[in-house]
Amino acid sequence: MALTIQSAQTIFSNTQVPSPIPATIALFDQLNVDDQLAYLWYAYTEMGKTITPAAPGVARLQLAESLLTQIKQMSREEQTKVMRDLASRADTPISRSYGFFSVNTKLAFWFELGELMKQGIIAPIPVGYQMSPGVKFVLEATQKLDPGQQITVLRNTVVDMGFDTSDLGPSSYPKAATEPAFQRTTPVISSVKIDGITEPAVLGYIEAMNADKFDDAIALFTTDGALQPPFQKPIVGREAITKYMREEAQGLNMMPQQGICEVQPDGSKQLKVTGVVQTPWFGVTVGMNISWRFLINPDGKIFFVAIDMLASPQELMNLRRV
């Protein structure tokens, strides 16, 4: 029977338990715009007492430079309006430019705005803002998450901001800027060992990703292969996966720990691997508990891999189907 992405998505699905991350984002989505901006400010500054992101490199900030310069020259009221427009995804020139940024450039843009807010150059939250019970509620829900989940909530809310022009067709958006490289904070782990796993495609995938060798990683996929990032739809085909990896997978430190492999009657293999991933934004200070669910075709190529954020550290040991 031919492998399909739809059926691949369901492998090991009964080991997936609901994650508190989308639940927290759903609470955030219900807040009004000022409450959303205030929530992000409080969540970010509170988190900053224990973990702080690494400053983005000069090359990355240059991509956001023109927007940041425009915002710095505005009055406080105008600055607040820009932030409201971004959060409410209004169709404005600044929101459109932001919508074009890659995930890491969006994060760098807000990182810099946050620094300017701390310095008092930009108003941190709307003048006279009083924290609402809704904000308190979402902050309390956030505090119950582990640090890896907290930074994922922050990241996902920031990524969803701005006006998305992709629905307007290719002619409406400028050519994307070249993605600057992320400096690796940890030495490359060259020989990968995963308890219970000997599958060359899986070991090779982790080894290549840990060295940012995306062409080597992509060569392990079938031409119609797919990669499904956390809380997203599958990205299909080698070209699309390579583009995604160059933008979003640079500098990641992947530390898979254990896994299981089940051979199917048609010779394909289903594998589930659990472990920890670190992002260059927070280096070794924050680990995210994740799983990789691989479907390897009978020729040993990756047909599908889904990356899921685990609901709790206990899920690291949840490898059985029943």
Strand order in the sheet with 288-296: 235-236, 221-228, 302-309, 288-296, 269-278, 253-263
Structure tokens at 92: 């404005």
**Chain position carrying tokens 């956030």:** 142
Query: At its nearest, how many Å lie between ligand EQ3 and the CB of residue 121?
Result: 12
Please report, as ranges, the residues that interact with ligand EQ3 according to CB under 6 A: 37, 40-41, 44, 53, 107, 110-111, 113-114, 117, 151-152, 154-155, 158, 209, 229-230, 248-249, 252, 254, 277, 279, 281, 288, 290, 307
Per-residue exposure over 165-178, b if at least 16 CB sit within 10 Å of its own CB, e if not:
beeeeeeeeeeeee
| Complex with ligand EQ3: residue 119 or 190, whichever CB lies closer | 119
Query: At its nearest, how many Å lie between ligand EQ3 and the CB of residue 37?
Result: 4
User: For residue 225, what is the enclosing H or E element?
Assistant: strand 221-228
| Complex with ligand EQ3: residue 214 or 319, whichever CB lies closer | 214
Query: At its nearest, how many Å lie between ligand EQ3 and the CB of residue 220?
Result: 12
| Complex with ligand EQ3: residue 8 or 151, whichever CB lies closer | 151
Query: At its nearest, how many Å lie between ligand EQ3 and the CB of residue 288?
Result: 5
| Complex with ligand EQ3: residue 56 or 269, whichever CB lies closer | 56
Query: At its nearest, how many Å lie between ligand EQ3 and the CB of residue 107?
Result: 4
| Complex with ligand EQ3: residue 3 or 227, whichever CB lies closer | 227
| Residues 33 and 143: beta-carbon distance below 8 Å | no
**DSSP state string for 55-72:** PPPHHHHHHHHHHHHHHH
| Complex with ligand EQ3: residue 226 or 290, whichever CB lies closer | 290
Exposed, middle or buried by CB within 10 Å (0-12, 13-18, 19+), for 81? middle
Quick one: which of 191, 233, 240, 176 has its CA closest to 214? 240
